[in-house]
Amino acid sequence: MCGIFFRLSSVGEEFSKKDFDRLCATLRTSNAERGPDFQASVIERIPQGTDTEGSVELVAEFYGSELRLRGDSPIQQPHQKDGNILCWNGEIFGGLEISAKENDGVKLMEELACVKEHDEVVDIFARIEGPYAFVFYHALPPRLNTSVPEDDLVMVESLDDIPSHWVKPVDDFYNLLDRSTWLRVRDIPQTGPAGSARVSVLFSGGIDSTIVAYLAHNHVPPDEAIDLFNVAFENPRKIRLQQAGNIEALPKRQRKRERAALDATHWQAETSYSVPDRVTGLQELEELKKLCPGRRWNFVEINVPYEESKGARQRIEILMLPSRTVMDLSLALALYFASRGKGQIRSDMNADATPYESPARVVLSGLGSDELLGGYGRHRSAFKTGGWPAVIEELQLEIDRIPTRNLGRDDRIISSHGKETRYPFLSLDVVSFLAQLPVHLKLDPRVETGKGDKTLLRLMVRKLGLVEASSRKKRAMQFGSRSARMDNEQKGDATLSE
């Protein structure tokens, strides 16, 4: 494979020219090592019309180094013909007829020099079978075309500025998700008093539930409330651990003795429902209030005492069948009590709580975001072990199993309250759009959690002004609400005992 380098700058542009030239020299040297047979640069000046200060001109440098693996004659890069310029690094195994004595870069340049329209250029590259990266300057009309492998893409360093190649996907994604939400909140019969909530959201304050709530606000009449269901569990195991301190740091044998002693002791502590999802939920409520003034958000604090959750366990286990794992139960507990919508609300943060039972019969869920956009840690692990192909395979597996792993169980749980769950992320239009989108536009596992996971969604949410939500890290519902591991530390994939 050859080495290619491209530089584009504006005449008179203000930047550190010395540092820029040093960087370019380093990149030329690095690319020369990839193509030891020949190296050269071509400089092209590209007029760009005028601005208020006069004419504008871009200076483009095309640099190529050649590693000749095809053809009988020495080849020089960049390839030039009739004013067109091609830097080529690749192998063509199909799509163009190339004899054993011909060079693929030369043959490709001949094909490209014959076309006049940009769409014809795209068609030529679409036919090519094989790995490649290229920079092509089309002289008539002047147009620059590029392609680089996904592994070489520039990483997102900040969510504040959307890179140019993300702008259209972000806008298209927003439009599709917004329409999907509209279809799911329109024409719902009013069963409660005028102005009461017809729509509710399973709300943790995370990025998925926040964007669903925000988009629902776009389409629910402004004089109606929207209920935000936020669930928290009294978890005796967590309380005992808080009383005991950090026993996890003790040696294994001593840790077992300490746990046994705690289990034998009747724990007494003031129950706190300040679980992680309650904290982030209240934080995000304030951000929604700022962006959506005039909307009445009913933040429903759903506090579940241990004895109540224990008493409901048998019914919940029956409802979630055939799902039978420890993790299924943890999630089902959270969904059961959250979707029931029975809790308390406050007129403001410092006001006394008032008992409340939601009349909303539609429950919106952010399910599908992690599966479609790479929000789980296993997507990062897949990239580390198998690169982008492994990520694509894992994402496909997520979509294939979401009906059996999630949707059936969740529907059985939530519908037991006479309510219907609706999933804006799982509309056919949204799923189809995301399935066709290149994987590197959906996530970047090379970047830290909170940026690299669900990058497309984070950029969109940031653009809307939901700054805090855009950078929140993934937290599973059962851990955020503390419905998991109430009695012991069984692994999530363990089958429930009879």
Chain centroid to CA 13: how far?
Answer: 35
| pLDDT value, residue 241 | 61
More confident residue, 33 or 455: 455
Q: Write the CB contacts of 340 (distance below 8 Å, at least 6 apart in sequence).
A: 302, 417
Our CA dihedral for 373, 377, 383, 389, rounded to 10 degrees, sits at -40
What pairing do the DSSP bridges indicate for beta strands 38-51 and 54-66? antiparallel
Q: How many angstroms separate the CA atoms of 68 and 390, rounded? A: 31
Residue 160 pLDDT: 54
Percent of the chain with pLDDT over 90: 37
Query: Model confidence over 189-198: pLDDT tens digits?
Result: 888 899 999 9
3-state class (DSSP) for residue 368: coil
In this model, does residue 264 exceed pLDDT 60?
A: no
pLDDT for 265 equals: 41
Record the pTM.
0.66
Q: For residue range 279-337, what is the model confidence (pLDDT) as tens digits? A: 999 999 999 999 999 999 999 999 999 899 899 989 999 888 888 888 899 899 999 99
- Which residues are known to be catalytic? 2
The pLDDT of residue 268: 41
Domain 164-234+271-480 superfamily per CATH: HUPs (3.40.50.620)
Look at residues 377, 474, 469, 475 and name the one whose alpha carbon lies nearest to residue 159.
Answer: 469
**Residue 369 above 90 pLDDT?**
yes
- The reply to whether omega before 78 is within 30° of 0 (cis) is yes
CA nearest neighbour of 70 among 92, 95, 107, 100: 100
Nearest CA to 323 out of 404, 256, 377, 390 is that of 404
> CB neighbours (10 Å) of residue 374?
28
Three-state DSSP at 50 gives strand
Q: How confident is the model at residue 383 (pLDDT cuts 50, 70, 90)?
A: confident
What is the pLDDT averaged over residues 85-104?
Answer: 81
Q: Where are the domains of the chain?
A: 3-148, 164-234+271-480
Q: Is 463 exposed, middle or buried (0-12, 13-18, 19+ CB in 10 A)?
A: middle
Work out the pLDDT band at 207, boundaries 50, 70, 90. very high
pLDDT in tens, 39-52: 899 998 877 655 55
Confidence category of residue 159, pLDDT binned at 50, 70, 90: very low
Q: What is the pLDDT of residue 57?
A: 74
Distance CA 452, CA 155 (A): 9
